[in-house]
Amino acid sequence: MKADVLVVGSGIAGCAAALAAAREGADVLVVTKATEPEDAASDWAQGGIAVTQSAPEEFAADIRRASDGTADPEAVETLVSESRAVVEDVLLDTLEVEFDAVGDGTDAADFDLAREAGHSSRRILHVDASTGAHVLRPFLQHLSARDGVRIVEDATALDLLTEEGTVRGATVLADGEVEPVFAGATVLATGGIGDCYARSTNPAGATGDGVAMAALAGATVSDMQYVQFHPTAYDPRTDQRADDDAQPFLVSEAVRGEGAVLRDADGHRFMPDVHEDAELAPRDVVARAVSRARDRTGRVVLDVSDLDFREEFPDLAALCDDRGVDLDAGIPVAPSEHFLCGGVAVDDRGRTSLSRLFAAGECARTGVHGANRLASTSLLEGLVWGVRAGETAAERGRGEAETVEYAPPRDSDPALPDAFADTKFDRLGRTMDEFVGIERTPDGLGTARARLRRLKGEVDAYARTRVSRSIYELRNACVSSLLVARAAADAPSAGCHSLVDSDGSEGSEGSKEDEQGDDAEQGVTPSADD
Ligand code: SIN
């Protein structure tokens, strides 16, 4: 297959890139693992889309403050200054998304703007607490009906095709066959790394594919230590009424924005002791405080008694009812992996360090989030950088798809049992949760790196002679996890990367690698280099 622009991924960033490239007259091919909209994290986004209101400089200041002062000011300026125009053009005029409004919704002034942690004012467009689904589904429908865009679902991009440092497309597994897709430009929009952790707010399939494919092709990847944990995911483990198989779900920051408070197992509201903005402090601060309060007292609940929760958040109330949560007792919550702030390094047009390769959305590191992302800026970033990457990829790729030589992967050994990937992901998730979570120690990171290298070595050995979605997802998750652990070991604390000494006190020394690791893990295939 050939295309002017190949887009890998079908969340908001991939859709925006496809739309923008098609508008520029490019022939666009979207390749996605998804078979349903909810396979993309964008579809799960609850809070909404922050948009500049009357004071852009305040929005920019909030982003920088949330980032612990590390966000790139030029990237922030791009995001803030383009937010209104891109939302109006794509979401309102093209897709006709009906955001919650207080009036008839025909004027931006009528929108029912929400507030979330870290925002100094109300500026978030939303549809209940299910904004992502109300944006992504019409987006996919629009693209499916649009000339110049082909969407191939249930298709796994395996590796980038490169020729002397230039990216020429990717190999893709679809219908059991590996095919090369030659493209004039390639846009990675593959989302985050939720599957690297045992507990995440992401849908299954968030295996760091774009980050790993780009890194393996030699692209620059940065800020991988900044993995954001959302402070309030429903926690069935501390809910006595939960069934054994009850699943966690995100409880949007918008709930705290409307007045919900956090209490420990003794009923104490602890956030005012931690930060002057209490429950509306930046997300990394709240996540660490919730984690510590849970360690100290065993349980944290989100007390929603001061708001009309059922009226204001009907979709979240329905999820709570489904799990049998006793709302009068508060919603049991725990931090959960949520968003990768780092990723494939890109410039203001989504260009990576490799020729003809672009990235947008969660897999890209634009510099907007620095060390910690401000709430409800991820859909916006996906939209702004998706459009910019798509436009630039179209300019670069139109009429430029070239066939290049490539070595198809070997698929000679019998397929592995289904349980194989589950077992390895389980090991990966336990390692990342235990040693590369909210608070990290140098020794813990050393242990994690040694274990991850061994795991990657095993997976690489299997991947040499087998091709399947799960093997490549495992490989990608191992590569991404190693990049996180290595970056975390080398970087001082900032934002959502918190390096502490083993006793929990602040510390910033590099890690000492645990080359011995766990005895049970000795004797496996030699590890690959991280
Ligand atoms: C939330 O609704 O709390 C999540 C919003 C976000 O991740 O930006």
CA of 159 to the centre of ligand 1 (A): 31
Position with higher pLDDT, 506 vs 129: 129
| 378 CA: nearest ligand 1 atom | 8
Q: What is the mean pLDDT of residues 133-157?
A: 96
**Which residue, among 111, 157, 124, has the nearest Cα to 45 in the 3D structure?**
124
**Catalytic site residues?**
283
| Contact yes or no for 286/117 (Cβ under 8 A) | yes
CA of 373 to the centre of ligand 1 (A): 10
Torsions phi, psi of 327, nearest 5? -65, -30
Q: Of 306, 336, 366, which closes a domain?
A: 336
**Which residue, among 20, 11, 67, 126, has the nearest Cα to 397 in the 3D structure?**
20
CA of 407 to the centre of ligand 1 (A): 42
Q: How many residues does the chain have?
A: 530
Q: What's the total number of domains in the chain?
A: 2
| Contact yes or no for 81/56 (Cβ under 8 A) | yes
| 377 CA: nearest ligand 1 atom | 8
- Identify the DSSP state of 272: H
pLDDT band at 104 (very low <50, low <70, confident <90, very high): low
What is the per-residue pLDDT for 244? 80
Report residue 308 as tokens: 């009309």
CA of 111 to the centre of ligand 1 (A): 18
CA of 377 to the centre of ligand 1 (A): 8
What is the per-residue pLDDT for 109? 61
| Contact yes or no for 188/363 (Cβ under 8 A) | yes
CA of 189 to the centre of ligand 1 (A): 19
- Mean pLDDT, all residues of the chain: 92
pLDDT band at 268 (very low <50, low <70, confident <90, very high): very high
Cα–Cα distances (Å) from 257 to 117, 147, 191, 260, in that order, read 6, 42, 26, 7
Which runs of consecutive H residues, i.e. helices, occur in 230-377?
253-257, 271-274, 283-297, 309-312, 314-323
Q: Is residue 392 part of a domain?
A: no
CA of 170 to the centre of ligand 1 (A): 32
| 379 CA: nearest ligand 1 atom | 8
What is the per-residue pLDDT for 428? 98
| 232 CA: nearest ligand 1 atom | 3
Position with higher pLDDT, 95 vs 246: 95
Q: Which of the residue ranges 33-47, 344-358, 377-391 would you say has the lowest mean pLDDT? A: 33-47
CB within 6 Å of ligand 1 — which residues?
Answer: 46-47, 252-254, 375-376, 378
Q: Is residue 400 part of a domain?
A: no
Q: Which residue has the tokens 């190693």?
A: 482
479: CB partners within 8 A, 6+ apart: 208, 211, 212, 215, 216, 456
pLDDT tens sequence across 481-497: 999 999 999 999 999 99
| 47 CA: nearest ligand 1 atom | 2
pLDDT at 106 over 70: no
Q: Is residue 243 part of a domain?
A: yes
Q: Is residue 15 part of a domain?
A: no
- For a mutational test of ligand 1's pocket, the pick from 376, 377, 379, i.e. the residue with the most ligand atoms closer than 8 A to its C-beta, is 376
What is the per-residue pLDDT for 367? 98
pLDDT band at 361 (very low <50, low <70, confident <90, very high): very high
What is the per-residue pLDDT for 192? 98
Q: Of 281, 302, 336, which closes a domain?
A: 336
Residue nearest to atom 1 of ligand 1 (CA): 252
CATH number, domain containing residue 284: 3.90.700.10
pLDDT at 512 over 50: no
Position with higher pLDDT, 509 vs 81: 81
Torsions phi, psi of 163, nearest 5? -140, 110
Q: What is the pTM of this model?
A: 0.93
CA of 469 to the centre of ligand 1 (A): 29
pLDDT tens sequence across 450-465: 999 999 999 999 999 9
pLDDT at 505 over 80: no
- For a mutational test of ligand 1's pocket, the pick from 63, 115, 228, 378, i.e. the residue with the most ligand atoms closer than 8 A to its C-beta, is 378
Cα–Cα distances (Å) from 380 to 77, 88, 249, 389, in that order, read 13, 12, 22, 14
CATH number, domain containing residue 465: 1.20.58.100
- For a mutational test of ligand 1's pocket, the pick from 42, 43, 44, 46, i.e. the residue with the most ligand atoms closer than 8 A to its C-beta, is 46
Q: Of 336, 371, 393, which closes a domain?
A: 336
Position with higher pLDDT, 435 vs 109: 435
pLDDT at 344 over 60: yes
Q: Is residue 92 part of a domain?
A: no
Q: Which of the residue ranges 87-101, 145-159, 202-216, 503-517 would you say has the lowest mean pLDDT? A: 503-517
pLDDT band at 525 (very low <50, low <70, confident <90, very high): very low
What is the per-residue pLDDT for 507? 56
Q: Is residue 25 part of a domain?
A: no
Q: Is residue 196 part of a domain?
A: no
Report residue 420 as tokens: 């194989």
| 129 CA: nearest ligand 1 atom | 2
Report residue 345 as tokens: 């390094």
User: Could you give the percent of the chain with pLDDT greater than 70?
Assistant: 93
Query: What residues make up the domain containing 272?
Result: 230-336
Q: Is residue 179 part of a domain?
A: no
What is the per-residue pLDDT for 241? 87
**C-alpha count within 13 angstroms, C-beta hemisphere, residue 505:** 1
* Claim to verify: residue 235 and residue 331 sit in the same structural domain: yes
Q: What is the mean pLDDT of residues 367-392?
A: 97
pLDDT band at 45 (very low <50, low <70, confident <90, very high): confident
- For a mutational test of ligand 1's pocket, the pick from 126, 227, 228, 250, i.e. the residue with the most ligand atoms closer than 8 A to its C-beta, is 250
